[in-house]
Amino acid sequence: MAAGVMADRRFPDYVRRHALLLVLELERRGQAVPPLEIVKSLAVVRAYPVIAGLEAMYRHGDASLRESVAAAMGALRFKRSFGLVSQALRDPSAPVRKAAAASVERLVFPHAFEPLRRIFEARDLPDPEAARKAALTAIGKIGSVEALDFLCDRLREGEQPFVKVASTAISELPNSELLPYLRRQIEFVPAEHRAVLEDTAQRLEHRLR
């Protein structure tokens, strides 16, 4: 898959350069290249086609390799990445699950909201708190109206530790376009959480001046 990326001019030069370096290394050393090194190189390429290779390595790898693949997925911000990450969140190995949760927190892009929401709402996760906190942290960085609504829902539900994660995310919102929606939410969250919305609204207002 790296050779295909290298030859495809639709990819940016820096992506093709990393793919070329991996191809040259494989040609030079062949089977001597450790699988863990290949995983790290594929993650640096950051192109959609490498996901298929990482999926195959995860399926056939031992716990150490699966952990490396799970960690690498956080660099590949595509919806397809969530398929493998979701598997890794349910892996029999605790270090693999931990690496997957760390990757969830890094998978922040506009179309990530739905798969992140599904992770947060999953009820079959071996380590639910770590996975759900990671998903909520990522949702808090998306900066969309639906993400803000989701954060405020956590304040309304009042379940710890997710209230704290949601409050922190709201306090760090960078998107001034959310200001009218933020103001609208103030009266609908419990009184003890209104201050964080009010402070964030005030900060965003100052940014617009």
Summarize pLDDT for 65-124 with one digit per residue, the tens.
999 999 999 999 999 999 999 999 999 999 999 999 999 999 999 899 999 999 999 999
State how far the Cα of 108 lies from the Cα of 141, in Å rounded to an integer. 7
**Measured distance CA(100)–CA(54) in Å, rounded:** 13
d(CA 8, CA 14): 12
DSSP code, position 178: G
Place of tokens 């001019």: 9
Q: Read off the tokens for 83.
A: 């398929």
Whether the predicted model's global pTM rises above the 0.85 cut = yes
Overall average pLDDT of the 187-200 stretch: 96
Q: From 74, 72, 7, 17, select the one nearest 42 (Cα to Cα).
A: 72
Average pLDDT, the chain: 90
Residue type, 99: A
